[in-house]
Structure 1
Amino acid sequence: MDDRELVYLGAARQAELVRAGKVSARRLVEAALHRAERLDHRLGAFRVLLAERALAEADARDAALAAGGPGADGPLLGVPVAVKDELDVAGEVTTFGGAANLTPVPHDSEAVRRLRDAGAVIIGKTTMPEFGQWPFTESAAHGYARNPWNTTRTTGGSSGGSAAAVAAGLAGAALGGDGGGSIRIPAACCGLFGLKPQRGRVPTAPHPHLWYALGTIGPLTRTVLDSALLYDVLSGPADGDRWTARPARTSFVHAASTEPGRLRIAYSAEPAVPGVRPHPEHVAALDDTVRILRELGHDVREADPRYPDTTAAFLPQFCGGVRAEAATVERPDLLELRTRRTLRLARLAPEAAVERAVRAGERMAERAGRCFAGADLLLTPTLAARPRKVGALDGAGTTAAMLRSLPMIAYTALWNVTGHPAASVPAGFGSDGLPLAVQLVGREHEETTVLQVAAQLEAVRPWAGRTPDLPY
């Protein structure tokens, strides 16, 4: 097997080969780093590559395997994993996508620690818009992240660097964060599987929350099984968590490998944001998925979701989240002009207003839950618009950036307000050569059902075998 095949195998298969002694962790990591060093100047996926540290960590994984001691059977043994630059990696600066932090942090975040304990090798930190505010991965400090399928197009955001790294074979998997669609949107743009977990499923430590009730941490992966494997590693409460999800009824890997039986699935092309119209190819991808699900034996029916208007819950938490993260940086004078304008807007949402918005979101979760009164899952498009050209944020202040963001978040942000699990599932390719996707939304705490049906769709129209036309 050559290195080009290795880098596209995905996390589960890569770890399996390392544990079996067929590939060394060092070879896996070298292959990913070599590819990143050759291609990332075109993609902008990484803010920093940790080559020396990653190779030393890979050697330690190989030594543990040879000795048969602790760490020799980790579920992610030797897998090169990238980490979004809002999560702490010991010895590195957490930039939040900007230039206002300068000092390396002393400890890994809890999610990164769990990855290492499972045998993963952290190879770098990925790009994001400042504080993850936008569904486009563009920043004054680090430039554009570019879509591996067409480098003139956006990766989406805010976990766009992580998505580009996995889609281009620069990492076996990558961590992202989702506060309004920031895992699902770049997954949809880049042809990956991206599951936003139930709120509280993955700890946000050392912070009690990520953008209050909106934010979750999770992986972007090539396959459903890869995502399930990482969630089994990442899930579970930690000290200081503000929210904790109900324990899953089975392991996520087991769910991804198990048929769900006949389910009731509602579907709708209606966006949750008024005034936004979905692209016709996204509606066609939805209709094609409905056909496949019916052929799989599910009871699939069109529904009128009657989504609640979540603006009063989302916007104050958005403002409060940006304000809370901005308060931690060392050089606020180095924040982007657009961010400083957002912070002026945030003054209109004091802490008491943010907490009222959290409670309003909890009430909206009850209303949104009516979508599942007669259904186990809800199927929608992931995006309303096709991935636009890079430079979406050029010249835009806060208001213009918000307006340009609406077609990207029109199906996703609602589920951050309510906390429901939701996944972007690849659904073929558009006439522009870029990926298409649909969104599966589960009942509260029911990621397992989402994974089961996503795995069925993957089996019918496998997406991981197709890769961007990039040189090795």
Structure 2
Amino acid sequence: MNEDVFTQLSAGEMAEGVRSGRWTARELVAASLERIGRLDPELNAFTVVRTKEALAEADRLDAELAGEAKGRKASGADSRPTADTGRLLTGVPIAVKEEFDVAGLPTTLGGSGNPSPAAADSEVIRRVRAAGAIVVGKTTMPEFGRCSETISDRYGATLNPWRRDFSPGGSSGGSAVAVAAGMTPIALGADGGGSIRLPAACCGILGLKPERGRVTMAPLSQHWHALVTFGGLSRTAADSALLYDAIAGSLPSDRWQAEPLSEPYRDVVARGTGPLRIAWTGRSPMPGLKNDPEVDRALTALIQRLARLGHDVRETHAAWPVPTDAFILQFLSGMATEADSVEAPEKLERHTRRIAAVGRLIPTRLARFAERRGEKIARAFNERFLPTADVLAMPTIPVLPRPLGWLESRSTFASIFRGTPMVANTSIFNVTGHPALSIPGGVSAEGLPIGMQLVTRPGREGLLLALAAQLEKDEPWPTPPGF
């Protein structure tokens, strides 16, 4: 398959093309690998590329599809399989963050503390494979996802495809770059303070943090005391819907469990939203933090578009509940727990060791208190911001993407403090557990993407994706220059 053709296809189009016989899974995977081989030496989105394994898995899938088609033809049935067979992502190349277990590969978490290969796939990886996706590689992240840029001692810095001298954000930066640069149409990430939404905003793509408990954490029961959720990144709302239809669902082992879906996300997106009540705010949950003027202009443009599309759009002046104390306790204690779980803690980076050392001083009862406090903050947010509105619109990040390496030259806690404005608008929804989606919101004068965040009540991720699909249809998202 021609590389230019590959980059123009959505995940949904790729899967349908394989099911119809227009192309094979091997052709898609080969095109993905070719693009990775050409672009990744510079961008550094991948930690490992599964070239031989991915091609072999694609060949097996093609053989299975051919055998099934032969069987249907012999029985007189339609020889063309559909998405209803369960393979929503038939033959689609997917990139996965280093946070997920992939059998046979170490789960490095961005560092050197876990040298041994994982014995089995994590449940989310099992689900994307069952849906027909082919894992082409694992992607870069800062160790443990501890900061909002993607850089580590082991893997170095990941570059933003919009401008190579800028950070792609973090911590799911490698996954975001893989999607934004067209190396894969979808990717898996994880979000503990904005780690899906921040790189999505910095790379001009979509990143959804689902409701807490919506996607299983297995083999973990929970992560960072309720802050972290697993999820994905894509270039289109329809692709995000397909991905979440494949991975959504909790297990009895999950400490938090969401109500089962009443209908597939792809059906919600296809049906559309109808007129919505949308509240908006330009104020950050962090007191005194001002938006970059270009972020304010992008927010104004989004509000005007939403109104033009027929939605009831009104500014809210509600006071933000304060999530800082809960987030700090959950983050520090979670980092300590993670540091204590790796095979070789002595190999962790100095920043990670220092954060974990402080986290070990937090009693378990305080971490549990922070979880309960998050539930109170969630109720306060619902009462103040979503009493009648369907969606809250606001900037994903109050500032523009930062230059490459902007945090790592600092001491550990000075780095955390300096990075606070990046997570000011996102981390509150990790504390509360609300679904939150970052969508492309425009491009700055410097050629840097600006992200806008849509937030709704638990259980309504489909509404966010349907609204994003409407905006995407009205005006296609911008793409990086040269891509």
Q: TM-score range by the shorter chain?
A: over 0.9
Q: For residues 291-330 of structure 1, what are the structure 2 equivalents within 5 Å? A: 291-330=304-343
Which residue in 1 is equivalent to 2:401? Answer: 387
Please list, as runs of the form range in 1=range in 2, the aligned pairs for 1:19-418 lying within 5 A after superposition. 19-68=19-68, 73=85, 74-370=87-383, 371-418=385-432
Distance 1:295 1:348 in 2: 52
Q: 2:455 matched to which residue of 1?
A: 441
Give how far 1:467 is off.
4.2
Q: Which amino acid aligns with 1:319?
A: L
Paired residues for 1:420-435 under 5 Å: 420-435=434-449
| Counterpart amino acid of residue 426 in structure 1 | P
Q: Distance in 2 between matches of 1:277 and 1:372?
A: 23
How far apart in 1 are the matches of 2:460 and 2:254?
A: 20
In the TM superposition, residue 245 of structure 1 has moved relative to its aligned partner by 0.9
Q: Secondary structure of the residue that 1:439 maps to in structure 2?
A: strand
* Native 8 Å contact 2:3 2:35 kept in 1: no
How many Å apart are 1:248 and its aligned residue? 2.8
For the residue of structure 1 that corresponds to 2:21, the secondary structure is: coil
Q: For structure 2, list consecutive stretches of 5 or more residues without a partner in the other structure.
A: 72-80
* CA positional deviation for 1:10: 2.4
Supply the distance in 2 between the matched residues of 1:116 and 1:166 (Cα, whole angstroms). Answer: 18
SS in 2 for 1:81: strand
Q: CA deviation at 1:81?
A: 0.4
8 Å CA contact 1:382, 1:439 repeated in 2 = yes
TM-score by length of 2: 0.95
Cα deviation 1:336-395 (Å, max 9, x = unaligned): 111111012112312111111101101111001121012111000011111111112222
Distance 1:410 1:355 in 2: 22
Q: Deviations over 1:77-136 (max 9, x none)?
A: 110101100110000000000111110011000000000000000011100011011111
16-25 vs 197-206, which moves further: 16-25
Query: What does the per-residue CA deviation read over 1:292-332, in whole Å, with 9 as the maximum and x for residues that have no partner?
Result: 11111111000013111111111111012111211121111
- Matched residue SS, 1:333: helix
SS of equivalent to 2:165: strand
Deviation at 1:247, TM superposition (A): 2.3
1:178-226 deviations in whole A, cap 9, x for unaligned? Answer: 1111111100011111111000000000000121211111110010000
Residue in 1 aligned with 2:465? 451
Q: Is the 8 A contact 1:250 1:448 kept in 2?
A: no
Q: TM-score, normalised by structure 1?
A: 0.97
Q: Kindly provide the CA deviation profile for residues 1-48 of structure 1, in whole angstroms up to 9, marking residues without a partner as x.
A: 722221342211111111111111111111111111121111110011
Q: Assess if the C-alpha contact under 8 Å between 1:180 and 1:416 holds in 2.
A: yes
d(CA) in 1 for partners of 2:481 and 2:367?
A: 42
Count of aligned pairs between the two proteins: 469
Cα deviation digits, residues 422-447 of structure 1 (max 9, x gap): 10011221111121221000112211
How far, CA to CA, are the matches of 2:237 and 2:466 in structure 1?
9
Q: In the TM superposition, what is the alpha-carbon distance from 1:335 to its structure 2 partner?
A: 0.6
Distance 1:360 1:272 in 2: 16
Name the SS for the 1:257 alignment partner: helix
Q: Distance between the aligned counterparts of 2:414 and 2:9, measured in 1?
A: 40
Give the letter for the 1:144 counterpart: A
1:14 corresponds to 2:27: no
Q: Which residue of 1 aligns with 2:77?
A: none
Q: What stretches of structure 1 move > 4 A for 4+ residues in a row?
A: 69-73
Give me the whole-angstrom Cα distance separating, in 2, the residues matched to 1:304 and 1:47. Answer: 44
Conserved in 2, the CA contact under 8 Å of 1:168 and 1:468? no
Tell me the SS of whatever aligns to 1:389. coil
Q: Is the contact between residue 338 and residue 396 of structure 1 (CA under 8 Å) also seen in structure 2?
A: no
User: Partner letter of residue 273 of structure 1?
Assistant: M
Aligned to 2:76: none
- Is the contact made by 2:2 and 2:31 (CA closer than 8 Å) also made in structure 1? no
Structure 1: give runs of 5+ residues left out of the alignment: none
